[in-house]
Amino acid sequence: MEKHEQNVSGITADGNQFLTFILGAEEYGIEILKVQEIKGYTAFTPIPNAPSYIKGVINLRGTVVPVVDLRVKFAMSEAEYNQFTVVIVVTVGTRVFGLVVDAVSDVMNIPRESIEATPHLGRDVDTSFMTGMAKSNDKLIALLDIDKLIGEDVLGAMATAN
């Protein structure tokens, strides 16, 4: 397999680079290639009738960008936005979205052998938006498939709210 050729799971032979971020006490990662930019917290313009995890929209250089609060999407307790709160701007297909997270950690190159399959937690726990669990020192990082996480429910919610 060529060094940058992707296999079925989307992980290159030598691993991928992931942007890691914090939500509560947990660390998550998304493929760096999906990240357009990282912005400091900015006030959102609310959208009427949008689900609670869609906090509103921001104007990003003339583009209206919907913003998803991942704490709310993951049914975590809400936190006050502060000086560490950031919006990770990501590309999902041809659309751009903002993800509100508590803080950005690092950009990590995670070798393929350090990525474990997502554990099966029963049919009541949806883990379809996770690509695996990365081991880094003594901690685990949940790796997210941003296309599946944002996916149809957020796109559908945005269409309904408009």
Structural domains of the chain sorted by starting position, each given as residue range(s) with its CATH number in brackets: 16-161 (2.40.50.180)
Whether the full predicted model's pTM is greater than 0.85, yes or no, is no
The predicted-structure confidence for 47-101, as pLDDT tens digits, reads as follows: 998 899 999 999 999 999 999 999 999 888 888 888 889 999 999 888 899 999 9
Q: DSSP code of 117?
A: P
β-pairing, 63-69 vs 95-101, is: parallel
b/e code 120-148 from CB counts within 10 Å (16+ = b) = eeeeeeeeebbbbbbeeeeeebbbbbbee
In this structure, what is the dihedral angle of CA atoms 31, 158, 95, 67, given to the nearest 10 degrees?
-50
The predicted-structure confidence for 23-33, as pLDDT tens digits, reads as follows: 998 999 999 99
Return the percentage of the chain with pLDDT > 90, whole number: 41
The dihedral built from the CA positions of residue 146, 149, 155 and 161, taken in this order, carries a sign that is negative
Is the pLDDT at 10 greater than 60, yes or no? no
Q: DSSP code of 32?
A: G
- The pLDDT of residue 143: 92
